[in-house]
Amino acid sequence: MADKEGVSEKDIEQIQKQLDLLDRRFDNIDSIVTTVAERIMKQPLALNLTCPRCGHKIEIGIIGTEKPTVR
C-alpha cells in the first residue's frame, strides 16, 4: 500500500536494509583505517601500489611519530 508520496512500506523497508548495509560497510572501513593508523604510529609501514593503467609500481613509506616500544 502506498502513502501520499507514492512510497510503499516495502520501499521503505528496502531503503532501511540498504542503509543498514551501508552502515556496516562504513563500520568495516572505520575498523580498517583505525588498524592501519595504529600500526603507522607504532612502526614504519610500506604501501605497494600498482597503477591499473600503466602497471607502474609505486612504494609509499609512512613513518609514525611514536617511538617503538619493547613488548
| pLDDT, tens only, 37-52 | 777 677 777 889 898 8
- 68 has a pLDDT exceeding 80: no
Residue with cell 563500520: 27
Residue 15 grid cell: 531503503
Model confidence, pTM: 0.47
At residue 37, the pLDDT reads 76
pLDDT range class, residue 63, cuts 50, 70, 90: confident
Q: What's the pLDDT at 56?
A: 93
Q: What is each CA distance from 67 to 26, 33, 37, 47, 63, in whole angstroms?
A: 30, 20, 14, 20, 10
Q: How far apart are CA 62 and CA 2, in angstroms?
A: 54
C-alpha to C-alpha distance for 52 and 55, rounded to whole angstroms = 6
Higher model confidence: residue 45 or residue 71? 45
